[in-house]
Amino acid sequence: MKATETLREHGQSLWLDNITRGMLDSGKIQHYIDAYSVTGLTSNPSIFDKAIASGDYDSAIAELSARGHFGEELFFELALEDLRRAADLFLPVHDRTDGVDGWVSLEVSPDLAHDTRATVRAAKDLHARAGRRNLFIKIPGTPEGLPAITECIAAGVPVNVTLLFSADHYRAAADAFLEGAERRVAAGLDPAVGSVASVFMSRWDVAVADRAPQELQDRLGLAVGLDVYRAYRTLSDSDRVRRLQNAGMRMQRLLWASTRTKDPEAPDTLYVHGLAAPFTVNTMPDATLEAFHDHGEVDRPLPADGGDCDETLGRFAAAGVDLQALASRLQNEGAASFVASWRDLMARITAQSSALT
C-alpha cells in the first residue's frame, strides 16, 4: 500500500495544491484522484499566474477579450471554467462522503483583504457564478477577513479560511465560522455549511532559519502544527461545538497548507509525514505529492494533547524568537505576497489580452 493510500486510511485527506487547464485536458488531475488518493484541490493567484504564462490559455483569453472581458473579470471567467471542471471531477468524492470531502477552492481578490464588505460581496458573487456546491471561496483569516467569514457562513457560502499561522489565528478563524453557524441555527437554517481552516507551515522554518540553533532547524513549523492541532481537538470537544453539532453543524476541518519543504537539507516530505492526523487535510504541490507517493512514510497520528510542542516552542522562545509577533508578521507578509502575486497576474492578463487582440 502506497503512503498516500495509507494516509487516507488513517483519516487524513490529501488535496492537490495546483490546477492548470493542461492538467485538466491531459487527465493528470483525474490520474491523481485514481492513483494517488487525492480527494480535493486548492488554488491561488500564483498558481494561475504560472498556468496562464504557459500559453495554454491564449485562445481563451483572445476569445474573452473579443467579448469585452478584461483584467479581473477575464481572470475569474478563466478560473471559474477550470474550477467547475475540477469540481465535477471531485463530485463523486463529495457525494460519497456526504459533503465532507471532494472540495475545490477559489480565492477572492487579495486586494480586498482589508475590506470586509467588499469581500463578502465578492464571495457571494463568485460562489453563485461557479454553480458548484463543492467549491470553497478562500477568505484570509486577517482581522478584516474574520467578520467576512462569519457573514459568508451565515449566508450559506462555503469558506476556506487562509493565511492562518498559529493556534491563536486558528481559534479566531474557528470562532468566526462557529458564529456564522450559530446565526444560521438562530434563523432556522441548516448550519451544515462546509469550511476548512488553512494553517501555513513551512514559512515558520524559513523565517527562523538564520536564528535557530542547529538542533532546532526545521522543527518550528511542526511544533506550531502540534499546538494548532491541540487547539483544534480541544475546540472539537467543547460544549459549544457539541450544541451546534446536535443542531446539524459539521465541524470546520483543519487543513495544513504551505507544505513544500523549502530547506534542501530537510526531507522533501517533512510537512506531510510530520502532520498526519485524522479528520484533517494536507494540501500539497505536485512535487511533494509525488515524493510522498514514491517514498513517504506515515508516522503515528499527532497527539491530541500537543505532545512535546510546549517544550519545543519554549526552546525557540529562549533563543529569542517572539512567536506571537512572528505569527502576526507572517500573516501580514503572506497577505502582501498574495496582493503582489495578484497584481502580477493582472498585469500578465492585460499584456496577453493586448498581444492576442
d(CA 41, CA 94): 12
Q: Which residue has the cell 494536507?
A: 282
Of 101, 98, 184, 103, give the one whose Cα is nearest residue 137: 103
Amino acid at 68: G
| Active-site option among 28, 124, 138, 262 | 138
pLDDT of residue 124: 96
CB atoms closer than 10 angstroms to residue 59: 10
Give the pLDDT of residue 354: 82
CB 206 within 8 A of CB 236: no
Which CA distances in Å does 141 have to 2, 261, 306, 313, 342? 34, 23, 23, 23, 18
Q: Residue 199's closest CA among 158, 235, 166, 234?
A: 166
Q: How far apart are CA 284 and CA 294, in angstroms?
A: 14
- CB atoms inside a 10 Å sphere around CB 235: 18
In angstroms, the CA 197 to CA 174 distance is 7
pLDDT tens sequence for the chain (357 residues): 899 999 999 999 999 999 999 999 999 999 999 999 999 999 988 888 888 888 889 899 999 988 988 899 999 999 999 999 999 999 999 999 999 999 999 999 988 878 899 999 999 999 999 999 999 999 999 999 999 999 999 999 999 999 999 999 999 999 999 999 999 999 999 999 999 999 999 999 999 999 888 899 999 999 999 999 999 999 999 999 999 999 999 999 999 999 999 999 999 999 999 999 999 999 999 999 999 999 999 988 999 999 999 999 999 999 999 999 999 999 999 999 999 999 999 998 988 888 876
- Count of all residues that appear for the chain in the document: 357
DSSP assignment of 19-39 equals --HHHHHHTHHHHHHHHH-EE
Please name the residue ranges forming H helices in 155-308. Answer: 167-186, 202-207, 220-236, 239-246, 270-273, 286-295
What pLDDT is attached to residue 352?
Answer: 85
pLDDT for position 299: 83
Is residue 138 part of the annotated active site? The answer reads yes
The grid coordinates of residue 235 equal: 475546540
Q: Which residues have CB under 8 Å from 32's CB, separation 6+?
A: 16, 38, 289
* Helix (H) or strand (E) run with residue 128 in it: helix 116-130
DSSP 166: S
> How far is it, in rounded angstroms, from Cα 178 to Cα 36?
33
Instruction: For residues 78 and 60, give the distance between their C-alpha atoms in angstroms, rounded to a whole number.
Output: 8
Q: What is the pLDDT of residue 357?
A: 67
Cα 13 to Cα 240: distance, rounded to the nearest angstrom: 25
- Confidence at residue 113, expressed as pLDDT on a 0 to 100 scale: 79
**In this structure, how many other beta carbons lie within 10 angstroms of the beta carbon of residue 66?**
11
